[in-house]
Amino acid sequence: MTNKTDRIIIFDTTLRDGEQCPGATLNIDEKLVIAKQLARLGVDVIEAGFAFASPGDFEAVKKIAQIVGTENGPVVCSLARAIKADIEAAAEALKPAVNARIHTFISTSDIHLEYQLRKSRAEVLAIAEEMVAYAKSFMTDVEFSPMDAARTDPEFLYQVLERAIAAGATTVNIPDTVGYTTPSEFGAMIKGIIENVPNIDQAIISVHGHNDLGLAVANFLEAVKNGARQLECTINGIGERAGNASLEELVMALHVRRQYFNPYLGRPADSQESLTNIDTRQIYKTSRLVSNLTGMLVQPNKAIVGANAFAHESGIHQDGVLKNKLTYEIMDAQLIGLTDNQIVLGKHSGRNAFRTRLKELGFELSDTELNKAFVRFKEVADKKKEISDWDLEAIVNDEIQQAPDLFRVELVQVSCGSNARPTATVTLRTPDGEELTDAAIGTGPVDAVYKAINRVVNVPNQLIEFSVQSVTGGIDAIGEVTIRLRYESKVFSGHAANTDIIVASAQAYVNALNRLYASLQTQQKPEEVTAQKV
């Protein structure tokens, strides 16, 4: 494949760069759940992690390679520094995948060379060439990134890329590591690479960029116009600092404006063929899944997947949409997998109807997951007369999360009022199976519940974020609670959904504490890995 390909390759790095977002740490099972959904979404490449970074990352890459890296599945990729040990770990973890890729990188900007690597340009040239060749000895698909390419001297960048391609790189990725560049600059950089790297026709040009100036998506679209054919992005745009280029925004921009982009990919302007392999109907579900598992909320005004993305408040807008959606909507909500909020199931519905509806919504659950979700569905159906697709989604997402089941909420009881001191009694089942009960007084019912839970679990932590969202309208709506807490320098997230927001608050808190507790129990000290950001 060369840069003349007439479609855009979507490289998803949610499980690698996205997980570097503070508080977004995922366990192996959660990564696998997301990887399976990314495969359903249709991404071409999944960067499953950084195999050398820790034993947990190694196992996650290996498990995803084994289960998702099938013959008809996506390419499974692992990041590796331009160091033999990193490359060896990546190759070993990727062995189970039918289609695998090693993605190796080294800094090339003068500021990185002087203060981080403490190496000369000549040394970096030699290392890049040697390590790409070493990665090539393990597999045919090798990607190379000159880290901080956007601030690298162009002439030196051309030399590094030429050497890397000569050594066997099939994809060369151009990272705007610190989100510094602007669209015209980034487009010119890609154009300069095509014009000045003699063997560039032997590799795909990829781009990776951060959103520090809010320009990542715009930069990528300009790069596409100038010859980039792989886009490295994340679901909901999560990632280091201000995040990465957003997958859903890029895909839908290319889809809605394909008549504009078609000529840049050598297609007739009026071609209706999609520019990517993404199944856009899976976008919303994937966004919700990643948000729930990482604890990173999507702001209401977020493009494509925000709660307000297809909402209309203005009377003029409402009138126009009622007459013809195209007056104020450039895409149909159903195109990204949003459905009308219709009642489809109730408390008398059976397991088969439940399974069928979930399949229609895009959920593929194991028997164990289905059983857990069905029990929750029945509990909610007893409290709500009308069950919507959004309710079903909240129930399933809540149940399939794979947080360690160490402590479990057995009872939550609160007493509060205008002239009362908020008091909570909680009973938790411990990892040993013992039931412990404690009570506490707080500034409000949730504060009292959390203080009581802390007395039982007895793990110091600091609550840094608490958010409640209503899944649907109405007094009986399911409430989703997302919390983040800090222990030392680490942040852990928790999520739960329930018609009782106090119960959801308790479950979300215990969910986060279980992650913290599991981390303490399995704490390891792998060799320190630095410079993980590309």
Residue ending a domain, choose from 375, 400, 425: 400
Which of 400, 419, 446 is a domain's end point? 400
Instruction: Please check whether residue 501 lies inside any domain of the structure.
Output: yes
Give me the residue label for tokens 């110091």: 460
Same domain, 126 and 249: yes
Q: Are residues 253 and 279 in the same domain?
A: yes
Number of domains in the chain: 3
Q: Please tell me whether residues 272 and 184 are part of one structural domain.
A: yes
Identify whether residues 113 and 238 lie together within a single domain. yes
**Structural domain includes residue 27:** yes
Q: Tell me whether residue 308 is in a domain.
A: no
Whether 199 and 163 share a structural domain: yes
The structure's pTM equals 0.81
Residue 456 lies in a domain: yes
Do 396 and 412 fall into the same domain? no
Q: Is 324 inside any structural domain?
A: no
In terms of domains, do 96 and 207 share one? yes
pLDDT tens, 355-367? Answer: 887 877 767 778 8
Q: Are residues 17 and 131 in the same domain?
A: yes
Find out whether 502 and 475 touch, Cβ atoms under 8 Å: no
**Quick one: pLDDT band at residue 243, thresholds 50, 70, 90?**
very high
Same domain, yes or no, for 45 and 162? yes
- Residue 528 confidence (pLDDT) above 80: no
Mean pLDDT along residues 250-262:
97
CATH label of the domain that carries residue 137:
3.20.20.70
pLDDT of residue 529: 47
Same domain, 48 and 110: yes
Render pLDDT for 27-70 as a digit per residue (tens, 0 to 9). 888 899 999 999 999 999 999 999 999 998 999 999 999 999 99
Give the DSSP letter of residue 527: P
Amino acid at 108: T
CATH value at residue 414: 3.30.160.270
Determine the structural domain holding residue 486 and report its residue range: 408-521
Look up residue 414 and give its two tokens. 């609160």
| C-beta contacts of 337-343 below 8 A and 24+ residues apart | 337/280, 337/281, 337/282, 337/283, 337/284, 337/285, 337/362, 338/284, 338/310, 339/389, 341/388, 341/389, 341/390, 341/472, 342/388, 342/389, 343/386, 343/387, 343/388
Q: Are residues 221 and 245 in the same domain?
A: yes
The string of DSSP codes covering 92-116 is: HHHTT-SSEEEEEEEE-SHHHIIII
The pLDDT-based confidence of 320 (bands split at 50, 70, 90) is low
| DSSP conformation letters of 300-365 | TT-TTTSTTTT---SHHHHHHHHH-GGGT-SS-GGGGT-----EEE-TT--HHHHHHHHHHTT---
Q: Is 159 part of a structural domain of the chain?
A: yes
| Structure-model confidence comparison of residues 324 and 374, the more confident one | 374
359 within a domain of the structure (yes/no): yes
Is 250 found in the same domain as 129? Answer: yes
Q: Which of 384, 400, 416 is the last residue of a domain?
A: 400
pLDDT digits (tens, 9 = 90+) for 422-454: 999 999 998 888 999 999 999 999 999 999 999
Q: Is residue 114 part of a domain?
A: yes
